[in-house]
Chains A and B, each alone.
Chain A
Amino acid sequence: MLKILFFAALRERLACANTSLDLQGQVLTARQVLDRLAGQSALWQQHLADAELLCAVNQQLVTLSHPVAAGDELAFFPPVTGG
């Protein structure tokens, strides 16, 4: 299973902090996972289409072209605002 996390405004808008996806042995890019998740509902489609969203794989910031496989932790979140 691929573990998927959402944070901050995105977590609130989706009303979901985490979910998982059975990749059935496939290796997908983060972008492909995002597209699959967006297909779940109109609400998810709307909020996951945000071009500003950042993505982390196994707790490292990466671009959406980064591959993910079963056992990975994938996270999507808005631009960060700490400091």
Chain B
Amino acid sequence: MTGENTLVEVRDLKVHFPIKRGVLFDRTVGHVKAVDGVDLRITRGRTYGLVGESGCGKSTLGRALLQLTPPTSGEVSFDGVELTTLAPNKLRAMRRRMQMIFQDPMSSLDPRQNVESILTEGLQAHGIGGDRDGRRKIIAETLDQVGLPRWALSRYPHEFSGGQRQRIGIARALVLGPELIVADEPVSALDVSIQAQVVNLLDELQDNLGLTYLVIAHDLAVVRHISDTVGVMYLGALVEEAPSDRLYTEPLHPYTRALMSAVPVPDPDVEDRRERILIAGDLPSPANPPSGCRFHTRCPWAQPTRCADERPQLREIGDSRVACHWAEQIASGELRPHKVSVQITRPAGEGEEPSVVSAPTEPGSFV
């Protein structure tokens, strides 16, 4: 199945974190299933966007892909090389080709290192550039690419504004000449006007250098703007994957529909006309996820059969892949949304057992 131009392929990736209890003897009392069986493929030179609400496992997936968090099971192949079983020294050499951009540029840059030192460190670790002059040349080129002035080299992170700090973070990733860049919430800590600058910069770098991106963000509008393909995650699994244009025009999974209708659009006409699908309640705990389809506790289209006891697999409908038993029926309007009562799901062993309570005046599960 691996095509010529697939750079990254992830198969059935799982990352489970143990929940420990006890003082002397750590007992494992359960697992937080942060990522629970994800398959995805990233085409070379394209951008794959990953969206989802906080706690859905999107950042863990990004880190597991780079082997920064060891996956519990599953396979990750990068340019044909299997990363999960790779020897540490070989993995270290591979890291040169896959870099990461972090969310908060202030906490991901060492405040005691100046920009030159930040950018040199990676080059030294990988033995690129030979001597000092060679490295300086590479660094100077990288600074030009990200739009930072030369005098930045001798300065420290606190002397820069948020947008410029993020440019330093991007420069640190770029300086090694990577093929894949995993950007975890690259713009969410920035102001609106600065966000646009950084988004444009990422776009431009991709055009010039042929980079492949995995962009992880909670802001659907940003992700849709920069991605070719968007994957929507819910509770550790992909629920839908579609070309970014289709995702807005024809969302298939009920969760995607709700997510799309919840994002505010800066246009009063659109806002007034839109149909809002409000999903009731909060994200269930990933330590004790609902059975069957994980979204069925909050889904306005949930059916009495299949949804609660059979976990839907991603299947292809048109250009999209969707994990919903009833996607076609919902798309054709055969199934209508109904009101959902709020269910409270708690982690196993914490507080009361999961119990179902109705919310008398929950303001509309759909409007």
Q: Do A and B come from one complex?
A: no
- Residues of A at the B interface (CB closer than 8 Å) are none
